[in-house]
Chain A
Amino acid sequence: MARIIAGISSSHVPAIGAAIDNGRTQEPYWQRVFSGFEKSKEWMAKAKPDVVIGIYNDHASAFSVEIIPTFALGCAAEFPPADEGWGPRPVPVVKGHPELASHIAQSVILDEFDLTIVNKMEVDHGLTVPLNLVFGSPKEWPCPVIPLAVNVVMYPPPTGHRCFMLGKAIRKAVESFPQDLRVVVFGTGGMSHQISGPRAGLINSKFDKAFLDNLTKDPKKLIRMPHLEYMREAGAEGVEMVMWLVMRGALDDKVDEVYRFYTVPASNTAVGHIILENRQRGAAKRAAAGKPKRATRRVAPAKARRAAARARTAVRRGR
Chain B
Amino acid sequence: MPREQHDYDDIPGTFVFDAERSREGYHLNMFCMSLMKDENRKAFKANEAAYLDKFPLTPEQREAILKRQYNRMLELGGNIYFTAKLGATDGHSFQHMAAVMTGSTQEDYAKMMLAGGRSVEGNRSKSGADKRAKSKPKSKSKIRSKSGSKRG
- For chain A, give the interface size range: 35 or more
Contact among A65, A192, A198, A222 with B82 in the assembled complex (CB-CB below 8 Å):
A65
Q: Which residue of B lies closest to A221 (CB)?
A: B144
The answer to whether A60 touches B85, judged by C-beta atoms less than 8 angstroms apart, is yes
Q: How far is the CA of A155 from the CA of B4 in the complex (A)?
A: 14
The answer to whether A198 touches B13, judged by C-beta atoms less than 8 angstroms apart, is yes
List the B side residues contacting A199 at CB < 8 Å. 11-14, 102, 118, 123
Secondary structure dominating the interface of B: helix
The answer to whether B94 touches A232, judged by C-beta atoms less than 8 angstroms apart, is no
List the A side residues contacting B29 at CB < 8 Å. 60, 64-65
Q: How far is the CA of A153 from the CA of B74 in the complex (A)?
A: 13
The answer to whether B143 touches A227, judged by C-beta atoms less than 8 angstroms apart, is no
The answer to whether A210 touches B85, judged by C-beta atoms less than 8 angstroms apart, is no
Contact among B13, B82, B117 with A197 in the assembled complex (CB-CB below 8 Å):
B13
Q: How far is the CA of A265 from the CA of B112 in the complex (A)?
A: 10
A25 interface residue (CB < 8 Å to B): no
The answer to whether B109 touches A201, judged by C-beta atoms less than 8 angstroms apart, is yes
The answer to whether A200 touches B101, judged by C-beta atoms less than 8 angstroms apart, is yes
B151 interface residue (CB < 8 Å to A): yes
Chain B contacts with A in 114-152, Cβ cutoff 8 A: 114, 116-120, 123-125, 130, 138-140, 142-144, 146-148, 150-151
Ordered by A's residue number, 16 sampled pairs between the chains whose C-beta atoms are within 8 Å are A59-B81, A64-B33, A65-B33, A84-B36, A195-B94, A196-B74, A197-B14, A200-B13, A200-B118, A201-B102, A210-B140, A228-B11, A231-B8, A231-B14, A264-B113, A265-B113
Q: Which residues of A contact B (CB under 8 A)?
A: 14-15, 59-60, 64-66, 68, 83-86, 153-156, 192, 194-207, 210-211, 213-214, 218, 221-222, 224-229, 231-233, 236-237, 264-265, 267-268, 270
Report, nearest first, the 7 A-B pairs whose CB atoms are least far apart.
Answer: A203-B117, A199-B13, A198-B13, A196-B80, A155-B18, A201-B118, A60-B81
Given contacts A197-B101, A203-B117, A213-B140, 4 further A-B contacts (CB under 8 A): A197-B15, A198-B12, A206-B138, A231-B8
